[in-house]
Chain A
Amino acid sequence: MTAIPLSQTSPAPHKVVTQESPQVRRILILLALSFLSLFLLLPLVAVFFEALRKGWEVYFVAITEPDALAAIRLTLIAAAIAIPLNLLFGIAAAWTIAKFEFRGKSILTSLIDLPFSVSPVVAGLIYVLIFGLQGWAGPWLREHDLSVIFAVPGIVLATIFVTVPFIARELIPLMQAQGSEEEEAAIILGASGWQTLWYVTLPNIKWGLLYGTILCNARAMGEFGAVSVVSGHIRGLTNTLSLHVEILYNEYNFVAAFAVASLLALLALVTLALKTLVEAKVAQQASRGNHS
């Protein structure tokens, strides 16, 4: 009988089972970094590089010429209408879904997600089908001298459609995690529905609300597909920033196209920074429950 040395049966003591060897780690990091640079960083740099290729002066002219300014204005208008409406809808929908039990709740939840699953082009076409000249409401609209398609209302509608899920989606899990005991406590203490909403519910979700709004804003300003279908591409009238970029690019006006695109890219960067800041606050608010 021979004694078996212990070291043969037990694994090396310093080895951590969840850690790979240094070479494998280096290769994985390199892969991830090169992927990120190629698909995210490079295009971003290219946008600013192309935009400034002919100097700052040309850049400023490109973004301050009347058509560009009109596009900026329209983009801001669409966002300024879509966001408050989505705020109201998002809070109401999240409140309903998170705090009450009712029949058809899962259907409502899927409906809110619909804009995520439907192609934006289809969304735009739906509005053309309803409000267009040949659409269901077309003759009535023409009689009353109203236009929705190829006009600002159509762009606003399309923007609202694609941004519906953002705020509600952000709030539902947050409100579900917080439960409704605080609201019950407020009502027992004599608070009215509005007082409960204003003093208890809204302060508890404010960071989630801001986070949803930031995402909603980014999508509202950057939307292309749905808006493109209903816009009609009338320069200075129904062009949003992203549509304006497309027109300039199709006219081989690359510098101007990239200059306007750089505005959208800047918006994205600002959104990203804000999002990172707010994200931490949301996590804090969700975890700072009453449960010890």
Chain B
Amino acid sequence: MTIEIRNLSRQFGAFTALNNINLKVRPGELLALLGPSGSGKTTLLRVIAGLETADSGQVLFNQEDSTDKHIRDRHVGFVFQHYALFRNMTIFDNVAFGLRVRPGKQRPGNREIHQRVTELLQLVQLDWLADRYPHQLSGGQRQRIALARALAVEPGVLLLDEPFGALDAKVRKELRAWLRKLHDDMHMTSIFVTHDQEEALEVADRIVVMNRGCIEQIGTPDEVYEKPANPFVYEFLGHVNLFHGRVHQGHAWIGDLEVDAPEYPEAEDLNAIAYVRPHDIEVNRTLNGEPALAARIVHILAIGPIVRLELAGQDNQSADNIYAEISKARFRELRLAKGDQVFIKPRRLDLFPGDRHLALS
């Protein structure tokens, strides 16, 4: 199913939850709505489901205007953050609910319902819990049942509102991988809301980054991570180092470090900010002829294959400490210790003219 959203806006009193949103969801894709709390991502999902109405704009399912369609007629599956399982029903009855409430002629027979529910419970690998009640299950089990319940009515699109938000880290990781596999097996369009960038990067086909009711960027995980459209996306996705510098006629200066900035040939002595990912910082013991920034090692975190270094810059190029990630092999080769002086050089950086608070607003 394709979903198209046109010029959607929603206001809650003085708060703008959605500000003229346009979005096309491709059939069969797993789309993540990613943003901080209050960015409007859940409101957008609820408007698509029909749980919330928009002030203006349209929602189209398969090119058909569904803005005024009742929730019941939209055929969406919805998974809530806090599961919303029917507490007075067994797991079996929970999953069977959507089939049992169908009007007379469309309602399957008891045997068919039993078969379908059993299949779904097997799909989520919890058929042995059919006679239990929701409060007897763990959080991860409940969310899998919620998913089975949503799938029972064979929805055209599956909407998940922070599906793993209430679970602990380990279960969350397991369910993430499991959801991805389930989505691929079911061949359906799915949209899920999350504030966890790692989750979005890992699971989604495409990510919609939202902020203050607007879409900041739409792209594949690789695109939004490697080519963030603006400072907000840069700072929201992954760890990033921020440097203050100046741009002048196609060149940029960060402290003593000069880099090419061919995108800004006409800039005349402008303030600029530069973003560098921790793994894009090269660390050396000595100056090897090329320009570099001097820094002192404040802290070393050497767990796992990647070593994280916290560095204090020696000029005022960065407001905060600088984080660099190097491989363990490189770390051993350099024989780094806390307090050592090193020289750092960004392998890749992205420049945005202006000040940070201006760029982010």
Contacts and interface: CB of A to CB of B under 8 A. Distances in A.
| Chain B binds chain A | yes
B98 A189 contact: yes
Contact of B51 (A184, A203, A285, A289): A184
Nearest to A288: B135
Contacts of B85: 182, 185, 290
Interface string A183-207: 0111111111001000110011000
A190 B82 contact: no
B296 to A, nearest CB: 45
B107 to A, nearest CB: 10
Given A181-B80, A188-B49, A199-B97, A292 B86 contact: no
B84 A182 contact: yes
A292 B142 contact: yes
A189 B101 contact: yes
Name the interface size band of chain A.
Answer: 20 to 34
The 6 residue pairs across chains A and B that have the minimum distance between CB atoms: A189-B98, A181-B84, A203-B88, A191-B101, A185-B84, A292-B139
Contacts of A195: 101
Interface in B157-214: 166
B294 to A, nearest CB: 51
Interface string A266-292: 000000000000000000010011111
B87 A187 contact: no
Contact of A289 (B72, B87, B102, B152): B87
Contact of A290 (B49, B82, B97): B82
Nearest to B88: A203
Given A184-B84, A185-B86, A203-B88, A190 B72 contact: yes
22 contacts: A181-B84, A182-B86, A184-B51, A186-B97, A187-B72, A188-B72, A189-B97, A189-B149, A189-B152, A190-B102, A191-B101, A192-B72, A195-B101, A204-B87, A204-B88, A285-B87, A290-B84, A290-B87, A290-B142, A291-B166, A292-B139, A292-B142
B129 interface: no
A185 B78 contact: yes
Interface of A: 181-182, 184-192, 195, 199-200, 203-204, 285, 288-292
A190 B98 contact: yes
Nearest to A198: B101
Nearest to B80: A181
B87 A192 contact: no
Nearest to B87: A288
Interface in B61-107: 71-72, 76-78, 80, 82-89, 97-98, 101-102
